[in-house]
A and B are shown apart, each in its own frame.
Chain A
């Protein structure tokens, strides 16, 4: 089991596994499920994941946002060598964002699965160039990804512009995360962006 941990940390034994699981708010079985999944995804048993490993999943490959989702994982990845490597810790960290919010951590905003972090995930899905702000072109890009090539581009463009205009309270032609939060305040993100794993 020890080989699946990040190369930077020393291998741990099972008792410390439990500690890890608790710090992440997972049960032992949940943690072992995730580890097993990591193992399954890592077909060549390298100890880390690359983008192509993700794309081997058929269901994911058909998803219009496959690249964006994979990008979200790899934002924390180890980019030291030429290849991007995603180790178990970072994998779990990203997955943890989708842990359902329980009552006892509702008040704790620093938790990894807080509403803010969930919204941030959604926000970053739009942010195609990863610069922290969303401009009209990025919204248009997301639209095109979802809707497909057959729809009239002018229509999509005007939609993107209108969408941005509704959100852009400080009139700087970009949407910042705070503006996004304000727009999404009526949406029950905690329920939508939760996985039972």
Chain B
């Protein structure tokens, strides 16, 4: 009944039954309408496979934006100040953070840090070079070509500062379809993320210099600018890490409020961004470092479902944000494209392109001295070609104050930004895929690693760490080893909910997945009395959603399963004579291999087994027992034997392995003796042997090595 205010004191003789009140819901309605429109467009776009392979989504969205803008303009709408306008506030505060957070959270940390030197080189030195060279070219181009406007050197540098930065949104959008190899992707994308610090500093530097005036510049101002750079970048990273610590510690205690866990993740990231923006530090650096740092600990702490929620939600927000950005860029063209200064635009385009190439080739030449995996010319070309400008440049131009540049200069700058963006997004975006094919760039390898490979890689890691110690050269391996040691000793103990019992968490995780799969196979095999020989062709891994009754000899190596407790109990009630598992309906879901690196907006790699579902099932089984149900069903009482046995008890054969002195044990004492004993008394949930045991597999003494042979 808030409409009482709308009714004027003028007396109404009629009683309105229904009326249209747009202002009541205008903003949320418009926002949601746009989001839904964007969703429809994306869906329609992906229905046709061919188009989505040829043209990147971003191009289509821009074209559509232009079309909608054109229609609105023709219809006479006030597009300048209406709702169809990419304002820099909207972009920097609402649209950019989800995209960057998603990128930082899912960034594969190891390749990133391995290439960090090169990335920093491109981001810092490369962007600086771009700014200076483009600025100089623009300034001198004024003499040669006719600009409409008067641009003094500071304004040239101001403009070049905002146009020279590679844009993370655009890079993501374009490289999504082009599956280049991981190193190349990390280099380009990492550069686009880290150059934010430089862009922010240079932009503010040029702004302040313009205020101070060209003639009053002194050395002290340059020195302040450099100090400002360190402040901006390190401050941003520090803020990110502070929030990440907060988020990680919070996730330790949220086991009772699992549905709230995702909100902590998002809020922490967003707060990091906003806090950095409070001080005009680099928000992107803050949110990226927050995501990367927090991710490793939070992923181990939160429930599997929260993990899925976080993934889905982040991908969804990032996807929608990106689409809105490009759509609005298209929309903004109609109003902005009035002041096309041909000379200025041409010089800018040429300068951007050429300077980027020179910069990339020059810097890679330097970087290759220290790199193990040298970048060849073709890859450098793609790296230079992938320097796509995007909405960041446009929004920075749009936020130029009226005291810095005149309105017509501002229009020129915005227009030029738009044209450069369109050029890079359209032309470079569409042609990059054929170029990648032409240069035969190594693409993303999707082969599944086998167990020996995974093991060897870790062994080699340790070996290289040792070699670096011996040779006395503190390289990447030494750094990584030291970080891992620190991580295991302090950080993991502090941040993780359940103290890990081994230093090699990732390794054990991959192994657990393999083992669960083995157990399924053994179940499957038992039912069909398949012989041992059918197991030698493990190499062929054709994933299939096989139901156990149908295809016994299938071996899929990318499987995770989730046993529904209700189903099993139902089945058991139905089948009186079940000793074996033949009638139990295991629902096998699909999961991709762990550590599947993907750039797609629409693919969600499964990385965790739903061990909690298994645990839930085990608990329910235990409850069912109390009804004496199983005593009737089986000849023997299932729960005579304890659920957990001593892991190094007499039943295991002790194998003597001469490995020299037991040097490894000292460092892995993450679990105290008391805790270990306590844990042994608890029900070990989710252990493979439990699963097998509970499913009533014949001869499932935990120790039976014949069953573990697969």
Enumerate chain A interface residues (CB-CB to B < 8 A).
34, 37, 40-41, 54, 57, 59-69, 71, 95, 98, 100, 121-122, 125-126, 128-129, 137-155, 157-159, 161-167, 171, 175, 180, 183-184, 186-189, 191-197
Contacts and interface: CB of A to CB of B under 8 A. Distances in A.
B220 interface: no
Contacts of B538: 165-166
Q: Tell which of A98, A122, A158, A184 has the most Cβ of chain B within 10 Å.
A: A158
**Interface pairs A-B: 4 shortest CB-CB:** A148-B668, A67-B660, A158-B708, A150-B501
B10 interface: no
B689 interface: yes
Q: Tell which of A147, A148, A186 has the most Cβ of chain B within 10 Å.
A: A148
A165 B514 CA distance: 13
Given A139-B455, A196-B473, A64 B657 contact: no
B466 A180 contact: no
B671 A159 contact: no
Contacts of B663: 61-64, 66-67
Contacts of B459: 65, 122, 125-126, 142, 146
B219 interface: no
- Interface of chain A, helix or strand or loop or mixed? helix
A147 B455 contact: no
Interface string B486-520: 00000000000000011110011001101100100
Contact of A63 (B457, B465, B676): B465
A186 B455 CA distance: 14
B372 A57 contact: no
Given A60-B466, A65-B459, A184-B456, A145 B659 contact: yes
B5 interface: no
Contacts of A189: 460
A195 B467 contact: yes
Contacts of A60: 466, 469-470
Contacts of A194: 372
B451 A163 contact: yes
A122 B460 contact: yes
A65 B471 contact: no
Q: Tell which of A145, A159, A171 has the most Cβ of chain B within 10 Å.
A: A159
B447 A64 contact: no
Given A154-B652, A187-B453, A62 B485 contact: yes
* Contact-size category for B: 35 or more
A180 B460 CA distance: 14
Contacts of A68: 463, 660
A125 B463 contact: yes
Nearest to B370: A196
B658 interface: yes
A98 B467 contact: yes
Contacts of B648: 153
Contacts of A57: 469-470
Q: Tell which of B478, B667, B708 has the most Cβ of chain A within 10 Å.
A: B708
A59 B451 contact: no
A156 B465 CA distance: 24
Interface in B353-374: 370, 372-373
Given A154-B689, A166-B539, A183 B462 contact: no
Contacts of A191: 372-373
B705 interface: yes
Contacts of B466: 59-60, 63, 65-66, 69
A55 B470 CA distance: 10
B599 to A, nearest CB: 20
A150 B502 contact: yes
B50 interface: no
Interface in B501-547: 501-504, 507-508, 511-512, 514-515, 518, 535-536, 538-539
19 contacts: A63-B465, A69-B466, A95-B467, A95-B471, A98-B464, A121-B463, A122-B459, A144-B664, A148-B504, A148-B664, A150-B676, A152-B647, A153-B647, A155-B688, A162-B518, A163-B452, A166-B539, A189-B460, A193-B464
A149 B687 contact: no
A176 to B, nearest CB: 13
A113 B463 CA distance: 16
A151 B502 contact: yes
Nearest to B708: A158
Contacts of B455: 139, 142-143, 163
B687 A152 contact: yes
Given A143-B455, A193-B460, A64 B501 contact: no
